[in-house]
Amino acid sequence: MASRTRSSSRRTRPGSRSSTAVSTSRAACACCITFVVPRVLIADQLGSVDPLRTPELDRFERLRDPTHQRLLPDADIRGYLDANDLVLTSFEVVHERVDLEERLALADVPEEQRVRVRGLAPGPVYEIEVGWYVARKPPP
């Protein structure tokens, strides 16, 4: 494809940028606007697909963090993305080993509450699944 050069008959004011500099900066801005796509990143612990296990996990998480609502399984997260017209562009599910005492310390859980959490914990070190999702709005 042949490149097209625009001859500038515009006058530039004294002290202003040259028309070439202005054209270059406009082109750079146009490229930025063209390639900026709104994206959503979700990274969260995944819930179980087993409906009998989910309440147990949520009860444990709520003891550790009273603001916790519920863990969502992979299918629910994908469903919410789809319901909001977001296209999943990449995802990964990773397994992480969690040290219960470190997690409780990080969340600044009081000692009397830690005793209850330890009673519901799967063990002093346990494994969780964390889902990483990147989604975007499709072009109109």
Residue ranges making up the domain that contains 61: 38-136
pLDDT at 31: 46
User: Other CB atoms closer than 10 Å to residue 77's CB: what's the count?
Assistant: 19
What CATH number should be reported for the domain holding residue 77? 3.40.50.150
Is residue 62 one of the residues assigned to a domain?
A: yes
pLDDT at 91: 96
Is residue 30 one of the residues assigned to a domain?
A: no
Q: How many Å apart are CA 91 and CA 132, to the nearest integer?
A: 5
Is residue 129 one of the residues assigned to a domain?
A: yes
Sheet with 87-99, edge to edge strand ranges:
39-45, 125-136, 87-99
* Residuewise pLDDT in 10s, the chain (140 residues): 443 333 334 444 444 444 444 444 444 444 444 456 789 999 999 999 888 888 888 888 888 888 989 999 999 999 999 999 999 999 999 999 999 999 899 888 899 989 999 988 888 999 999 999 999 998 87
Is residue 10 one of the residues assigned to a domain?
A: no
Residue entry with tokens 């494809």 = 1
Contact status, residue 82 vs residue 128, Cβ threshold 8 Å: no
The number of distinct structural domains making up the chain is 1
Is residue 7 one of the residues assigned to a domain?
A: no
Is residue 27 one of the residues assigned to a domain?
A: no
Is residue 112 one of the residues assigned to a domain?
A: yes
Residues 6+ apart with CB under 8 A from 67: none
Is residue 5 one of the residues assigned to a domain?
A: no
